[in-house]
Amino acid sequence: MSTSPSPQSSDDASLVVAAREGDRAAFGGLYARYARMVHGILLARVPHNDVDDLVQDVFLRALPRLRDLRDAAKFGPWLAAITRNCANDFHRQTRTIAAATDSLSEDEAELPASKPAPAAEAAMILAFVRNLPNAYRETLILRLVEGMTGPEIAARTGLTPGSVRVNLHRGMQQLREKLSQAAPDTSIQPQVRPGKNSTVQDKNGLRGRNEP
Amino acid sequence: MNDDYLWDSSGEPDPEIQKLETALGRFRHQDREPNFPEVMPFAKPRFWQRVLPSRWSLGFGLAAATAVILLIVAIGILQWSQKQGVTSGPGWDLESVAGTPRVESGAFGKRAKAGKLGIGQTLVTDSHSQATISVAEIGTVNVEPNTRLRLMAGGKGRHQLALERGTIHAFIWAAPGEFTVDTPSAIAVDLGCAYTLHVDNSGAGLLRTTLGWVGFKLDDHEAFIPAGAVCATRPKVGPGTPYFEDASVSFRDALSKFDFAAKSPEERSAELGKILAEARERDALTVWHLLARAGEPDRGRVYDRLATLVPPPSGVTRDGILRLDPKMLDLWWNQLDLGDVSLWRTWERSWSRDKTSGK
């Protein structure tokens, strides 16, 4: 997807040019800018325990290929594609595609009747995010896990701001629906009140849309 | 839901999102820069380093010997691959992922891991081989086993593959419309960013979009497939109606019959009734496509159903839609918020020009 050049991409371009010349600090600068994006894209696709190692693999894979990147301003989308390929290679090698959601698939991600421990609750929410459609889960993980804003996600990945906004909105809607179906009696359950499509807030601060 | 807070953390904080941020924050990237190689792989040595190597050490000698050995090996591989018919000139870079993919008659996986796919050349993978193609500077295509594809064009602003059979995964970041894949029953047009395309031995295909959206076209028959949706295609029929994969089984069954199995207008009309009855708000994607696919007598009820799912925007009238006014159809599509149709129209115009001029 094409986006118009931004100050961000021109800054990237100068770092890419310097890194090509062997400037290690410049490559470190690119790492500092893009590590969260790479981490988030991987987290949307591979088991959590393998993500940190793969982040390093992605940058090590990108490093010698920098000279092939003719439009230095497109570093972000280029790196995002390398990251997705790296995740695919991971699955090819391990042949554990089904394990991409760690040990917790969506089917298994039902909350216990009592309030779950924070770590278990977080793992469960992550499992739900990772079972959303690709476009939504990647964008949502960059926002909710990595703490990037919508404009940042667009600038880094090369997606248009409009696409990111739509992905965030729809992804959040679907996540809320899944959580409300799975967690009837726990802290993340949205409170349901009468009225079609109304948005309500529960005592714990999570909201959900009523089903008709 | 507070959209401003979700978008850029501005405005009144949304407690629901804050709670999710707190819970999921434990998975956040820890900001530790790994140890990258001290010597960058393609760093240019300074002048004095080139003229006066500062360390006449064992390390320097070993490095020089290694470089000579690598050079000899590289020359050997190059000569071998030329003998085997793997193009070394302009083309797309190929990398063997598994087994021994073949370009024309030359296998490049056994000894050389990399090769080139020249324009007009065919890449074939058997049941044990896989390959990755770097598409100029615009993306990559992963080629699964039992696939046969040909590079049709690789020029500036136009990159075209023909997939005869098998499966490819395309990750493309080029401008929308620059990368296309011909199949026996439709052309897939990348509108950014990632999708999987499968073609079986009969020429029937299935396209699954994972990111962005993709257009599918045969003559005047077109389909737009956003992330999370799939679309089947059949020889001589072209693309069917796209649908989201999470649609109900009965919805998908009825759609398949409507597209490819129903023989009489009555049968199609009956299947259409099932589709409209089952359609959820999200299935507006499918229902919008049905406007142009339903017979004239049925178009009114398709309009009515779509209007309940996504109200027509200003400038769209029932009469206009019933006579398939292209501008009104496009306006309504944009209202679905699945992708800007102007990208597609731009590609269509340039494609028609190229076709007319015989490019």
- Write the CA distances from B105 to B96, B124, B131, B137, integer angstroms: 15, 9, 16, 27
Say yes or no to pLDDT of A97 above 50. no
Cα angle vertex B115, ends B111, B119, to 5°?
150
Domain extent, residue B221, equals 123-356
**Residue B333 CB contacts under 8 Å (≥ 6 apart), including other chains:** B224, B288, B341
pLDDT of residue B48: 40
CA-closest candidate to residue B320, choices B340, B344, B300: B300
pLDDT of residue A91: 74
Check: CB of residue B283 under 8 Å from CB of residue B251.
yes
Tell if the CB–CB gap between B97 and A89 is shorter than 8 Å.
yes
In a domain, B222, yes or no: yes
Residues B75 and B223 in one domain: no
Q: Who among B6, B97, B337 is closest to A172 (CB)? A: B6
Domain count, chain A: 2
Q: Who among B7, B23, B25 is closest to A121 (CB)? A: B23
pLDDT of residue A7: 55
Check the CA dihedral B39-B41-B43-B49 and report its sign.
Answer: positive
Rounded distance between C-alpha atoms, residue A5 and residue B81, angstroms: 40
pLDDT of residue B111: 57
* A166: contact with B, CB 8 A cutoff: yes
- The rounded mean pLDDT for chain B is 81
* B294 Cα distance to chain centroid: 28
**Residue B200 CB contacts under 8 Å (≥ 6 apart), including other chains:** B165
pLDDT of residue A8: 61
Residues B76 and B183 in one domain: no
Predicted confidence band at B212 (pLDDT cuts at 50, 70, 90)?
Answer: confident
Of A99, A128, A145, the residue that ends a domain is A99
In chain B, residues with a C-beta closer than 8 Å to the C-beta of A141 are 24
Domain count, chain B: 2
**Residue B236 CB contacts under 8 Å (≥ 6 apart), including other chains:** B185
pLDDT of residue B345: 76
Q: Who among B7, B134, B191 is closest to A168 (CB)? A: B7
* A34: contact with B, CB 8 A cutoff: no
Rounded distance between C-alpha atoms, residue B12 and residue B274, angstroms: 44
Q: Which residue has the higher pLDDT, A212 or B333?
A: B333
Our CA-based measurement puts residue A42 at a distance from the nearest CA of chain B, in whole angstroms, of: 11
Tell if the CB–CB gap between A1 and B212 is shorter than 8 Å.
yes
Residues B343 and B292 in one domain: yes
Residues A73 and A110 in one domain: no
Which DSSP letter does residue A205 get? Answer: S
Residues A94 and A121 in one domain: no
Q: What is the mean pLDDT of residues A106-120?
A: 49
- Write the CA distances from A129 to A98, A155, A188, B181, integer angstroms: 15, 22, 14, 31
User: What confidence tens digit (pLDDT) does each residue in B235-273 have?
Assistant: 888 899 999 999 999 999 999 999 999 888 999 999 999
Report the percent of chain B where pLDDT is more than 90: 39
CA-closest candidate to residue B17, choices A75, A42, A32, A208: A208
Check the CA dihedral B78-B82-B85-B86 and report its sign.
Answer: positive
pLDDT of residue B231: 94
Tell if the CB–CB gap between A133 and B227 is shorter than 8 Å.
yes
12-51 in B: which are within 8 Å (CB) of A?
Answer: 15-21, 23-31, 33-34, 36-44
Our CA-based measurement puts residue B254 at a distance from the nearest CA of chain A, in whole angstroms, of: 23
Tell me the two tokens of residue B346. Answer: 């731009």
Residues A9 and A93 in one domain: yes
Residues A74 and A112 in one domain: no
* B4: contact with A, CB 8 A cutoff: no
pTM over 0.80? The answer is: no
Of A99, A132, A167, the residue that ends a domain is A99
Residues A90 and A186 in one domain: no
Q: Which residue of A has its CA nearest to B245?
A: A133
- Most confidently modeled of A81-95, B75-89, B94-108, B301-315? B301-315
In chain B, residues with a C-beta closer than 8 Å to the C-beta of A166 are 337
pLDDT of residue B116: 84
pLDDT of residue B97: 86
Bridge-partner residues for B122, per DSSP?
Answer: B150
Tell if the CB–CB gap between B41 and A69 is shorter than 8 Å.
no
Rounded distance between C-alpha atoms, residue A80 and residue A60, angstroms: 14
Residues A94 and A44 in one domain: yes
CATH number for A4: 1.10.1740.10
Residues B77 and B148 in one domain: no
In a domain, B87, yes or no: no
Residues A146 and A112 in one domain: yes
Q: What is the mean pLDDT of residues A146-158?
A: 93
Q: What is the mean pLDDT of residues B23-50?
A: 62
CA-closest candidate to residue A21, choices A62, A67, A59: A67
Check: CB of residue B130 under 8 Å from CB of residue B98.
yes
Identify the weakest region by mean pLDDT among A168-177, B37-46, B295-304, B310-319.
Answer: B37-46
Place of tokens 């729809």: A170
Say yes or no to pLDDT of B229 above 50. yes
CA-closest candidate to residue A122, choices A96, A104, A100: A104
Residues B314 and B230 in one domain: yes
In a domain, B163, yes or no: yes
- Write the CA distances from A128 to A44, A123, A180, B66, B326, integer angstroms: 11, 9, 11, 50, 39
CATH number for A117: 1.10.10.10
Residues A49 and A95 in one domain: yes
Our CA-based measurement puts residue A39 at a distance from the nearest CA of chain B, in whole angstroms, of: 6
Residues B255 and B179 in one domain: yes
Residues A179 and A84 in one domain: no
330-349 in B: which are within 8 Å (CB) of A?
Answer: 337, 340
User: What confidence tens digit (pLDDT) does each residue in B177-201 have?
Assistant: 788 999 998 899 988 668 999 999 9
Tell me the two tokens of residue A152. Answer: 């940042």
In a domain, B6, yes or no: no
Predicted confidence band at B285 (pLDDT cuts at 50, 70, 90)?
Answer: very high
Residues A35 and A90 in one domain: yes
In a domain, B300, yes or no: yes
Tell if the CB–CB gap between B29 and A40 is shorter than 8 Å.
yes
Residues A178 and A77 in one domain: no
A175 sits in which H/E element: helix A161-182
pLDDT of residue B54: 40
Say yes or no to pLDDT of A26 above 80. yes
Residues B345 and B208 in one domain: yes
- Write the CA distances from B209 to A28, B192, B359, integer angstroms: 34, 10, 28
Residues A134 and A206 in one domain: yes
Tell if the CB–CB gap between A173 and B1 is shorter than 8 Å.
yes
Output b/e per residue, B43-75; b: 16+ Cβ within 10 A: beeeeeeeeeeeeeeeeeeeeeeeeeeeeeeee
Of A99, A131, A161, the residue that ends a domain is A99
Q: Compute φ and ψ for B86, nearest 5 degrees.
A: -80, 120
pLDDT of residue B352: 65
Calculate Rg over the CA atoms of chain B.
26
CA-closest candidate to residue B1, choices A25, A133, A47, A171: A171
Place of tokens 């695919």: A88
Predicted confidence band at B218 (pLDDT cuts at 50, 70, 90)?
Answer: confident
In a domain, B66, yes or no: yes
Q: What is the mean pLDDT of residues A66-74?
A: 81
Predicted confidence band at B50 (pLDDT cuts at 50, 70, 90)?
Answer: very low
- Write the CA distances from B310 to A158, B248, B284, B302, integer angstroms: 29, 19, 7, 12
- Give the residue ranges of DSSP H helices in chain B: 3-8, 15-24, 47-51, 58-83, 249-256, 265-278, 284-293, 296-309, 318-322, 326-336, 341-356
pLDDT of residue A68: 76
Question: How many C-beta neighbours within 10 Å does residue B121 have?
Answer: 20
Predicted confidence band at B110 (pLDDT cuts at 50, 70, 90)?
Answer: low
In a domain, B34, yes or no: no
CATH number for B296: 2.60.120.1440
Where does residue A117 rank: exposed (0-12), middle (13-18), buried (19+ CB within 10 A)?
Answer: exposed
Rounded distance between C-alpha atoms, residue B253 and residue A34, angstroms: 44
Tell me the two tokens of residue B274. Answer: 């099932």
User: What confidence tens digit (pLDDT) does each residue in B286-323 have?
Assistant: 999 999 999 899 999 999 999 999 999 999 999 999 99
Domain extent, residue A170, equals 104-212
Identify the weakest region by mean pLDDT among A82-96, B202-216, B266-280.
Answer: A82-96
Residues B167 and B68 in one domain: no
Q: Tally the residues of chain A.
A: 212
The upper half-sphere exposure of residue B231, i.e. CA atoms within 13 Å in the direction of its Cβ, equals: 29
